[in-house]
Every structure is written in structure tokens, then in C-alpha cells.
Amino acid sequence: MKRIIIFALIVCLAVSTAFCVSAASSFTAKLEGSEIVSAGQVLAYVFTVEDITVDGGILNGDFTISFDPNVFEFQSVDAVEIDHWQMNNNTNNAASGSIRLIPMDSDGIGDNAVAVTESGRIKYNIHLKVKATTEKNTIIKVSSGMVADSELNNISDGTLGSLTITIKQKLATPDIVSFDNGTAKWTAVENAGGYSIQIYKNNSEFGDAIPVGADETEKDLSTYMTKSGKYTFTVTAVNGSAEYEPSDESTQSPEYVKVGDLEAPTIRLTPDNENGGLKYQITDTNENGTVKEYKITLYDVDGTVVNTFSTPNLAGTIQEGTVTGGIQYSASVQAIAKDETNNDSAESARSAAATAAKKVDTIAISTLPTLSYTDGQKLDLSDMVVEIKYADGTSEKVKFADFDSYGITCNMQNGKKLTTSDSGSTLTVSFGGKSSSQKITVTSTECKHTSTHKVRQEPTCGDTGYENEVCDKCGAVISSRTLEATGNHSYGQWEIIINPTSTVKGQKQHSCSVCGKVEIEDIPPLGTESAEPLPPDTDIADTTRNQGGVIDNNTSDGGKKNLDDLSKIFLIIVLVIFGLIILFIILGILLENRRAQARRKKKKRSANATKRR
């Protein structure tokens, strides 16, 4: 056993010694961040010193971050994690490519300093900006400063680090060679991993960029340019590896003009009832800026050309003089191209025929509809007729049923349910910019209650009554008065519910025939001075059985009997429980006696056995 303990102590001592030796002087310094960067980019590098364990502790340390000032421009340095330390940085030489980081003990400086003996960790964020440079590679180096009072200078197994930085180079910009018959051509770019083509139409981007492989320097774009117009393209060389950035976008190529036919528009004619003649409405799906004007051709019902004219507008009027009121016409339309990038469209199909309107002089309601209504009735315009007089001296009458076909409008809807608020409203019909009006009246149907009568409900002992004044004509309640309950009950005959005996009083009850209230009174025992003979009309209750044959135990004797029975049962239960307790006690005593005897016998046998030895 002692050998094992000694061996364990030796092992622990060896481990401790090895740990102390290994932890006596060590640290790890590392620099982390982007290794492939672009000109103008601001970089954030993380410098970490950790696992600092120096025998006897550390008062301060010293590190230098070195970089090429022709490549990088110093921005800032910040300590983000310092365990047991405070920071003192020297950035005086940052412009020349040197940053000095001096972590010091946080408990004091100089004579008051106390060395840090715990394992420490120091972490800095260093911000550098990449200058515009042609250099491809550079190094950011980490070294331990040669300061006389720096304990870290003497650490033999400390690990320092550095980063090799690759500056991305921008690919050369491709040159445009030609853009003939829709085929784009450009020059190849060294180290390009491919190309990206952007099509422009009328100097605006057209569609998404088109990717092209690194070994291609031309692309047929005719399938992308589906509509007529003036097209150009640009090309950008894209990076084939992480060391290169995409090139600048090239200049735009010469124009390629794609000539196509404009889409044929459509036209619709409608009567111009206000001014006379026709209205036209053109629907065009061509791009904005591609159509100069529209050529409209009018036809009569026989298909003969009546007139041809051009307009830059999608909508307008064809007045009387050009067309004749009452005559039907149809029309076709053609889109005329604005420039040489498009051909004129084909002539559209003819529109549906429309009747040219006559210029309206006046309109009047010649046959009045019903204008007087009572509250709740519906507006009825079915009998209305208007007379239209035209500027040419002709006239015609139009029934209400034909208003829609003529385009005559009315400000009130036929069949509207009217109320007294509509009384005095103006009913107006309009057509061709002219109108005619009439007022309607709506009277109330409310009863004036000039003759009334009273309706009375008498109160009872338990319920209130009322007295209402009611209109003879409409039955409405004009006024109402509540009659309070009388409180006077109408009781019936007494009924014996418990018969009295010579020593026990009885009970009787009677109830109100109106509200059902019940009164109960005691009956004195028989044979007492206060006892009164029962009235001859009193119903005598059967005290042994109630209605339905159930035994009535509500008498005094019956209650006492029930109480005696319960007392006996309770007493029996108590006696049984008491007997069980006594039994358990006796059994416990007997059991303990037997155990005591067994212990004595065992003790005696042990004593005898000892004597024999």
C-alpha cells in the first residue's frame, strides 16, 4: 500500500513539473482576415495573442504589425478582448507601415506593477484600406518587439504569424469589334473566365445580361431582339478565379436597326349624342413613341368609303357634316410609323356599325310618370315618355323602355323604395347634353290617432296590472299606466297536514287560489285549554301514510324513534372499534413477550458455549 502511494506521488510530481516547465513560457500570436482583397476595400484584420503563460508572470509585452505602406493605408486599431491587461498602442509609424501593440499589466505600471501570473488573452481589430495598386501580392507580418523590459522577448517557444495578401487585379475591358445583322463581336481578354453581354434598346437596358463562355468572342443576339427598334450592346469580362475582378463595362457598340411591322390597332364607333355625329376610340398595343398618327377610314352600310382622315389621338369625334345623323357607319384604322425602325401596320378589321347621332336641341318629358307617392312605395317610371327635338327640326318620342338603346339617362332608379326624405327630389332625364326635370312628392302614412279607447288588465294579489290608451284606427298604444298588485290573497279551506295529539301540536295550511301563496299555522295539542274543536269542513290528514303509500315519519314520535335507532348504531360502532384496539394491544404484548423469551434463550446458549471453551 505504501508503495502505491509513493508511486502516485512521484507521478503527480512529474506531471506537475512537466506542466510547469511547459507553461513556464509560451504564447501564440496569430493574424486572421481576408487574404484576397480588392483595391479601395477597407479590411478588418483580427490579431490575437493567447495562451500567455510566463513563469513569474508578465509585466508587459510588445508586438509589431508590419505592412507595405504603398499597398495599405492605416485606419485604426482597437482592443476588443483583454484578459487581466490594459492596452498602450504606438501608431506613430503607421504611415510608414508599422503598428506597435503594447499590452501591459492592468494592476499598475512601474514600481507599482504586479506581474500577471494567470493565462491571458489579448485580441485587437486592425483596420487597413487597400490602395489602388498594381502590386499583386504583399505580406502583413507579425513580430515580437525588441524592447528591453519585454518578458516576451525571451520566450523561446512562442509562435508568431503573418499573412500573404493577394490583391485582386481588374480584368482588361474588352473592345467592341462589330454589331452586324444582329451578331455581336468583341476582343478576347486574358485571364477572363467568361463574358457578360447587356443589350440596350433606344439607349435603355433591354432584358437581362447574357452570359457567354471564356472561349467565345461573338454572339448572335437576333433571337433576343424580338421587336423593331435601335439596338446596341456592351460586354464585360468576368473573373475566372478569385484573384481577378470583373472588368469595366465596355463602350456601347454601333447601332443595329431592326425594322418590323407595327401591330394593327382596333377602333370602336359610338353615337355622339351631345354634339351630333360619332365618337371613335382606338386601342393600340404598340410601344410608346413608335406611332406617329392613325389613319381612319369611314364606310357606309354598303361598304363604300365615305371619308379618310388622320389623327394623332386615340379618341375623338366625327361631327355632323362629315357623317349624317341617323345613318349607320363602320370604320377601320392603320398605325403610321414614327421613324424608319418600323413599317406602318396593316389596316385593321372594320368596327361594328354605329348610327350617327343628330345634334339635340331640346328634350322634354312629354308623358309624366307617377309623381305622387306615400312612404314606402316604389318609384314607377314605366309610363314616362320623353320627346327629343333635334337641331335639324326633326323630333321623336322615346318610351322609358327604350331609354337604354337611345342612351337616355335618369338620375333616379326605377323601383327605388321611397321615403318622406325623398319628397321634393328632382327627377331628371338627360340626353345629348340636354335635360328635363320634374319633382316628386312623398307623403307620410303615419296615423294621427284622432280616436282612442282604453284597455285595462286588473292587478291581482301578486301581479301588477295595466291601463293602456289604444288608437282605434291603427292599434298603437298611445299611453300606458301600471296598476300595482293588490296584495289581497284569496285563500281556500284549511287542510290538516299534521294531526295533533294529546301532547303534541299539529299543523294546518291553506293556499291562495290566485297566486298560490301558502300559509301554515300550528294546531294546539288536544285536551289543552287553548285547543279548539276542529271545524266540520276540515280535512283530516292520515298520519301513518301520505298520498302514494309512503310512511310519514314527520310526527314527533317517529322522529324520536329514528333518533334512538341512530344512537344505538353509533354506540355499536364505537364498541367494536374499542374492542379491536384492545385486541391489537394484547397481541402486541404477547408478541413482545415471545421475542424477549427468544432473546434470553439465545443469550443463555451463548453463555454456555463460552463456558465450554
* d(C-alpha 317, C-alpha 260), whole Å: 31
What the block records as the C-alpha cell of 26 is 509560451
The C-alpha cell that represents 533 in the structure block: 274543536
Taking Cα atoms as reference points, which of 332, 202, 334 lies closest to residue 258?
Answer: 202
Q: Pick the closest to residue 116 from 49, 45, 18 (CA basis).
A: 49
Residues 47 and 77: their CA atoms lie apart, in Å, by 10
Query: pLDDT tens across 521-580, in order?
Result: 888 988 665 555 555 545 444 443 333 333 333 444 444 444 455 667 877 888 888 888
Please provide the average confidence, as pLDDT, over all residues in the chain.
Answer: 81
Tell me which H or E stretch contains 609.
helix 556-612
Q: How far is CA 95 from the centre of its chain?
A: 54
CATH fold, domain 260-355, is Immunoglobulin-like (2.60.40)
Contact (Cβ atoms closer than 8 angstroms) between residue 186 and residue 217: yes
User: Which of the four pLDDT bands, split at 50, 70 and 90, describes residue 6?
Assistant: very low
Cα separation, 233 vs 273, whole angstroms: 53
CATH of region 360-443: 2.60.40.3630
Burial 464-474 (b: 16+ CB within 10 A, else e): eeeeeebbeee
Q: Got the DSSP string for 98-151?
A: EEEEEEEETT-SGGG---B-S-EEEEEEEEEEEPS----EEEEEEEE---TT-G
Task: Give the confidence band of 612 by pLDDT, cuts at 50, 70, 90.
Answer: low
pLDDT at 479 > cutoff 90: no
Residues 103-117 have pLDDT tens digits of 665 555 545 555 555
Domain boundaries, the chain: 22-167, 176-258, 260-355, 360-443, 452-483, 489-558
- What's the first-to-final CA gap in the chain, in angstroms? 37
The band of 120, judged by pLDDT with boundaries at 50, 70 and 90, is: low
Grid coordinates of 116: 500577471
What is the helix (H) or strand (E) element at residue 10, kind and residue range? Answer: helix 2-24
What pLDDT digit, counting tens, does each position of 128-155 carry?
A: 999 876 667 888 888 775 444 444 544 4
- Which residue carries 509562435 as its cell? 159
pLDDT at position 533 is 55
Which CATH superfamily includes the segment(s) 176-258? Immunoglobulins (2.60.40.10)
CA angle 80, 86, 92 (to 5 degrees): 85
Rg (CA), the chain: 59
Cβ contact 325:370 at 8 Å = no
22-167 and 360-443, same CATH topology: yes
Residue 130: CB partners within 8 Å, gap ≥ 6? 37, 38, 39, 40, 41, 42, 43, 71, 72, 73, 167
Strands 441-443 and 372-374: parallel
Distance in angstroms (rounded) separating the CA atoms of residues 140 and 71: 10
DSSP, collapsed to helix, strand or coil, labels residue 571 as helix
- Give me the DSSP letters along 444-455: -------SEEEE
The pLDDT assigned to 460 comes to 83
Model confidence pLDDT, tens digit, residues 217-263: 999 999 999 888 899 999 999 987 888 889 999 999 999 998 889 99
> What is the pLDDT at residue 511?
87
2.60.40.680, 2.60.40.420, 3.40.50.2020, 2.60.40.180: CATH of 22-167: 2.60.40.680
The C-alpha atoms of residue 93 and residue 75 are separated, in whole angstroms, by: 13
Contact by Cβ (8 Å): 352, 328 = no
Residue 1 predicted with pLDDT over 50: no
Asked whether 375 and 420 are in contact (CB, 8 A), the reply is yes
- Residue 57's pLDDT is what? 54
Q: Is the pLDDT of residue 212 over 90?
A: yes
Residue whose C-alpha is closest to residue 492's, from 512, 507, 474, 515? 512
DSSP class of 323: B
From the list 202, 200, 104, 174, the residue with the least C-alpha distance to 145 is 104
Closest CA to 240 of 191, 197, 196, 195: 191
Q: What is the pLDDT of residue 122?
A: 73
pLDDT tens-digit series, residues 298-345: 999 999 999 999 999 999 999 888 899 889 999 999 999 998 889 999
Q: Which residues make Cβ contacts (< 8 Å) with residue 348, sequence separation at least 6?
A: 264, 265, 266, 267, 332, 333, 334
Are 127 and 42 contacting, i.e. CB atoms less than 8 angstroms apart? yes
Beta bridge partners of 372: 441
- For 417-458, how does the pLDDT look when each residue is reduced to its tens digit (9 = 90+)? 998 888 889 999 999 888 999 999 888 877 778 888 998 988
- Could you give the CA distance from residue 93 to residue 145 in angstroms, rounded to a whole number? 14
